[in-house]
Amino acid sequence: MSGFGVILARDLKLALRQSGDSLTAIGFFAIATVLFPFGVGPESEILARISGGVLWVTALLASLLSLERVFATDFEDGTLDQLLLSGTPVSLIVLAKVVAHWATTGIPLIIAAPILAPTLHLPASGYGPLLAALALGTPTLSLIGAVGAALVLGARRGGVLLSLLVLPLYVPVLIFGTAAVEAGITDMAVRPPLLVLAGMFVLALTMAPFATAVALRQAAQ
């Protein structure tokens, strides 16, 4: 666990010093959300009905922007080889990097979502489910994305390959995240989609670090 803490602190410091990835993700999320009403129209009823889906799609795509660099920088400068030889379990290395990615991308998205939601006329009853769904869904996106980021290490046009690998796996999170917001807006039960999101998170937390570790070992060979 000491190795986990060291790697997590290192990645967080690097992210703060080189904040371009986080700012790019937040900037994309904000711009896409603000521009969407110009394409659909200003009708508040229409925007309110689709607001949950729009926020989730834009947040999902924003989180995807910084995934490629979760392991790529360490792979290119040889740091990844040193980490793999450090004696720290590879799954803990992966988990530390995933937590750092979520802390620098997922948490800002969760904070930005209720700030941007009024532009889509999201009803007040949808704010709680939106925040709860993002809190459960964004870590799952980071965990799944880490598997894809490890699989495309060293590949040409890795960003395109990463999108093709990860986006289909993101669809269930998108469906139930949007369903939770819709349930809150329509006064239906919010708990079922949130429980499904929680189950997805537990499953991803159980399997993704080990799958990513296998992919990293193969990439380092």
Each residue's pLDDT tens digit, 94-115 = 898 899 889 988 999 999 999 9
For residues 201 and 93, give the distance between their C-alpha atoms in angstroms, rounded to a whole number.
19
Number of domains in the chain: 1
For residues 152 and 209, give the distance between their C-alpha atoms in angstroms, rounded to a whole number.
16
pLDDT at 93 over 70: yes
Tell me the pTM.
0.89
**Owning domain of residue 116:** 2-220
pLDDT at 42 over 90: no
Cα–Cα separations (whole angstroms), residue 31 to 60, 138, 178: 14, 19, 20
| Average pLDDT rounded to a whole number, residues 6-29 | 82
**Backbone φ, ψ for residue 212 (5° rounding):** -65, -40
pLDDT of residue 83: 80
Q: Which of 213, 221, 217 is nearest to 97 (CA)?
A: 213
For residues 33 and 10, give the distance between their C-alpha atoms in angstroms, rounded to a whole number.
32
pLDDT of residue 149: 87
| Average pLDDT rounded to a whole number, residues 75-101 | 83
Contacts of 65 (CB under 8 A, 6+ apart): 21, 24, 25, 28
pLDDT at 139 over 90: yes
Mean pLDDT, all residues of the chain = 86
Which stretch of 10-24, 141-155, 159-173, 187-201 has the lowest confidence by average pLDDT? 10-24
pLDDT of residue 85: 80
Percent of the chain with pLDDT over 70: 95
pLDDT at 1 over 70: no
Q: Are 28 and 63 in contact (CB under 8 A)?
A: no
Dihedral angle, C-alpha 135, 34, 61, 91, nearest 10 °: -30
